[in-house]
Amino acid sequence: MQTVIADGNAVWLRAAKKYIESGEVVAFHTETVYGLGANAFDDGAVLKIFALKGRPADNPLIVHVHREYDISRLIDREPPYAAALRSAFLPGPLTMVYPSAGRVSKHVSCGLDTLAIRVPSSPTAQAFLREVDLPVAAPSANVSKHVSPVTARHVYDDFNGKIPLILDGGACDGGIESTVLDCTGEVPQILREGLVTREMIASVAGDCRLYHAAKGERPKSPGMAYKHYSPRCRTAYCVSAEEARKLYEQERAAEIRISCARTASQASSADARS
Ligand code: AMP
Ligand code: MG
């Protein structure tokens, strides 16, 4: 199979729709990382994602929809705080976990009775999702344990010859995945931290908890049990910009190639200082 990297113009959007309707998998840009998408109603297409990524069969997928998609078709109920959070943060990097109506393929949630839904803000993702007008199940478009892809080229490196199309929207702004928020209880609970923070959620919902699995308990967000991000080089985590600068200078002096990335919270504290 030939893998085409194309921008989201009308011709390629139509091609993407055809691929999705015929059970193929299409990669697409989002504001966090590139996604590997398939029709969430189609068992075979959803299973293809797991096979392509080498993803464990108990690590559920997030369903992506366009901003006008009526999610009440997919979920059983929505607490009032979740409706408020949707208006405040969507489209954007917040995934909301609801009691599922059981309409999408059972492989999407790996047998859980919940469904994770996200409305990405990337114009490429919105154009693609609007064109297909179906819920699209999509994990990050990398082979499991590889670093999440933030350019179309990264996706190509992992899936050249295995998928027909990558919808290129440029480099992703986020670089880290969406916040995963459990909206099945009285109070929202963060299952995976991301770009939308606990404080941001609490400011709208009144309260927000950070979930920690008790020892021996199966985590509520099964993906958190697996190893993530295995870069093929030495890495270090610095808690301040000063510490990072020191390490950077030290490694450069030893003629070691080094690059730095900042998390959103580090960026705000470093910016406040400089
Ligand atoms: P990925 O798309 O690879 O970034 O991973 C999706 C994340 O969402 C994983 O951590 C999953 O465990 C989590 N997730 C997806 N669906 C659900 C769900 N129904 N309940 C809880 N967590 C979920
Ligand atoms: Mg991932």
**pLDDT at residue number 268:** 42
Report how far ligand 2's centroid is from the alpha carbon of 138 (Å).
Answer: 9
pLDDT at 234: 78
- List pLDDT tens digits, range 190-247: 999 998 999 999 999 999 999 988 877 777 776 666 665 566 677 887 888 888 899 9
Q: For residue 149, what is the DSSP state?
A: P
pLDDT computed for residue 179 by the predictor: 96
132 lines ligand 1 (CB under 6 A): no
Predicted confidence band of residue 100 (pLDDT cuts 50, 70, 90): very high
pLDDT of residue 215: 78
Please identify every residue whose CB atom is under 5 Å from ligand 2, which is an ion: 140
Span from the CA of 60 to the centroid of ligand 1 (angstroms): 5
Query: Is the pLDDT confidence value at 43 over 70?
Result: yes
* Cβ of 222 below 6 Å from ligand 1: yes
pTM: 0.86
Q: Is the CB of 146 under 6 A from ligand 1?
A: no
Q: What average pLDDT score do residues 41-65 get?
A: 97
- Average pLDDT over the chain, rounded to whole? 90
The distance in angstroms from the start CA to the end CA of the chain is 50
Secondary structure (3-state) at 150: coil
Q: What pLDDT was estimated at residue 227?
A: 60
| pLDDT at position 263 | 56
- pLDDT value for 269: 40
Whether ligand 1 lies within 6 angstroms of the CB of 148 is answered as: no
The two tokens of residue 169 are 């929207």
- pLDDT, tens digit, 9 for 90 and up, residues 11-35: 999 999 999 999 999 999 999 999 9
Does the pLDDT of residue 174 top 80, yes or no?
A: no
Give the mutation target among 191, 211, 227, 229 for probing the ligand 1 site: most ligand atoms within 8 A of CB: 191
Taking 80 as the threshold, does the pLDDT of residue 121 lie above it? yes
Name all domains of the chain by residue range, CATH numbers in brackets: 4-210 (3.90.870.10), 241-273 (no CATH)
Whether 142 lines ligand 1, by a CB cut-off of 6 Å, is no
- For every residue of 189-251, DSSP letters joined together read EEEE--SS-HHHHHHHHS--EE--PPTTPPPSSGGGGS-----SS-----SSHHHHHHHHHHH
| Ligand index nearest the alpha carbon of residue 74 | 1
Q: How far is the CA of 227 from the centre of ligand 2 (A)?
A: 10
Q: How much distance in Å is there from the Cα of 140 to the middle of ligand 2?
A: 4
